[in-house]
Amino acid sequence: MNRQMRFLHRTMGAVIAVFVLIFSLTGILLNHSSDLELDQEYLTWNWVLAHYGISNIEPDVVYFLDQHVISQFDSRVFIDAIPAINSHKPILGGVVIDDLMLLTTEDELLLFSHDGEFIEKMTESAGIPPLIQNIGLFHGEPVVQTRQGMWRSDFMLEEWEAISLEGIAWSEPQSLPSAVEDELADYFRGKGISVERVILDLHNGRLAGSFSVWIIDILGLMLTFISITGIWLWLKRR
Amino acid sequence: MVGKAILNRKILLTASKSLLGVILFLIAFSVSARGVYQSNQDFLLEVFNNAPPKSKVVWMKGELRQGIRDILGHPYAGLRIRYWQQDEKSAWILEEIGKTEAITFGVVIANNKVDSVKVLAFRESRGSEIRYPAFTQQFQGAGLEAQQLDRHIDGISGATLSVRAMTLIVEMALYLDKFINK
């Protein structure tokens, strides 16, 4: 019994010692983070980037408009690799008319200049038909398909007439070209993940993700166990 | 002894359930604070007695662009701003970031003074108290003096950034109204 207890006490002590060493060393490093300039050093290792969810980028949707690549990541809309605007609704399509690039969501048109500069969001209050499903072009004029039917306008976009047409060039989603994907990857990754951040997450256990809670629980139980067995062994020796 | 343990367990269970209930209520309350309170179209129908005029646009160029930049402390997103005007009244639907998300405001200016201001959509998790009439009525009748409101607006604790956003947007609407009525 005594021997088994001693064996368990020693084994658990060794396991805990590894974690105590990690916590101590990372703690000391974090204490001198500024002096060591750990916040100025960055890691770009793939597994680190993957761990922080920025190794691969996957846009929700991509459209090609007027030499530009439009992509949406959650609420962020990019023109090429430049953040252009926030849209809480998914982009459903886009067309180019005259000197405008038009993107549509369910209930608004987002207007951009050819240079990608944001002009305005037009909604139902500006005459845009609601419940849009897609946008297309018919002889250079914008047409939107809504749940209530098809509507056509001109370059002013203020008057919309109900129509029924065939032969409309509807906007279709595309794949992200690799050149833009690389630029966007650079944008999202930035310089990488700072060494300070990784050490901090190692120190507080967040690096282990959802397992961190269980690891801390197990360590807590082990510490409780070796405390009790330590006291017990000490009392026995006396 | 066993009876006492069962009683303790029951008390613990009831306490846990109550705590969970309070947490769920708080979550539900905070979620309900976000959202669209009034659509842009409904706002305009209300302001113009169900017959809103056709919209007009003002282009953000030169002096106007700089003036708005000075008021907000940053450029306003977009090259043009849409507004609705009838007689002495102009209505503006403008957005400004509270803390991290855009808040949509509807501002009505009449005779160079604030007629009303409303929060149309609120997307932040905190600070939605600014939508209450008890707060927004402070703006009623306010004018612009040297690109600032001519009166003090009492803040709301916990909603500092939302109050700031609303104050800036009201100043911007007054400035825009002044510009279109030049």
CB contact under 8 A, A125 and B79: no
Of A117, A109, A85, nearest to A157 by C-alpha is A109
Chain B within 8 Å of A126 (Cβ-Cβ)? Answer: yes
Res. B31 pLDDT band, cuts 50 70 90: very low
Q: Which tokens in the block code for residue A62?
A: 């991509």
Q: Which residue has the higher pLDDT, B11 or A49?
A: A49
Res. B114 pLDDT band, cuts 50 70 90: very high
Q: Which residue has the higher pLDDT, B24 or A171?
A: A171
CB-count burial class (<10 Å; 0-12, 13-18, 19+) for B24: exposed
| B38 has pLDDT over 90 | yes
Pick the residue from chain B with its C-alpha nearest to A75. B101
pLDDT at residue B89, as a whole number: 95
pLDDT at residue B30, as a whole number: 46
pLDDT at residue B158, as a whole number: 87
Chain B within 8 Å of A120 (Cβ-Cβ)? Answer: yes
pTM, two decimal places: 0.71
Q: What is the mean pLDDT of chain B?
A: 87
CB contact under 8 A, A120 and B78: yes
pLDDT digit string, tens, across residues A174-186: 999 999 998 998 8
Q: Which residue has the higher pLDDT, B157 or B25?
A: B157
Chain B within 8 Å of A83 (Cβ-Cβ)? Answer: no
Query: What is chain B's percent helix, strand, coil content, to nearest 5?
Result: 45, 25, 30
Q: Which tokens in the block code for residue B126?
A: 């905190």
CB contact under 8 A, B41 and A124: yes
State the smallest CA–CA distance between residue A57 and chain B in angstroms. Answer: 23
State the smallest CA–CA distance between residue B117 and chain A in angstroms. Answer: 17
Cα dihedral B18→B20→B24→B30 (10° resolution): 90
ipTM, two decimals, is 0.72
CB contact under 8 A, B40 and A124: yes
Architecture per CATH, domain A61-189, reads as 7 Propeller (2.130)
CB contact under 8 A, B55 and A123: no
Per-residue pLDDT of chain A in tens (238 residues, 90 and over written 9): 678 888 889 999 999 999 999 999 999 999 998 899 998 888 888 888 888 877 788 899 999 998 899 999 988 999 999 999 989 899 999 999 988 999 999 999 999 999 999 999 999 989 999 999 999 999 999 999 999 999 999 888 989 999 998 889 999 999 999 999 989 988 888 888 889 989 998 888 888 877 888 888 899 999 999 999 999 888 887 7
Q: Which of B36, B40, B54, B61 to mutate to test the interface with A (most CBs of A within 10 A)?
A: B40
pLDDT at residue B74, as a whole number: 93
* Distance (Å) of CA A116 to CA A34, A77, B38, B77, B79: 40, 11, 30, 13, 11
pLDDT at residue B75, as a whole number: 92
Chain B within 8 Å of A85 (Cβ-Cβ)? Answer: yes
Q: Which residues contact A82 (CB under 8 A, 6 or more apart)?
A: A116
Q: How far apart are CA A233 and CA A219, in angstroms?
A: 20
φ, ψ for residue B113, nearest 5 deg: -125, 160
Inter-helix orientation angle A2-31/A212-237, to 10°: 130
Chain A within 8 Å of B57 (Cβ-Cβ)? Answer: yes
Out of A88, A118, A122, whose CB is closest to B77?
Answer: A118
Res. B18 pLDDT band, cuts 50 70 90: low
**Which segment of B20-24, B63-67, B111-115 scores lowest on mean pLDDT?**
B20-24
Q: A135 with A93: CB under 8 angstroms?
A: yes
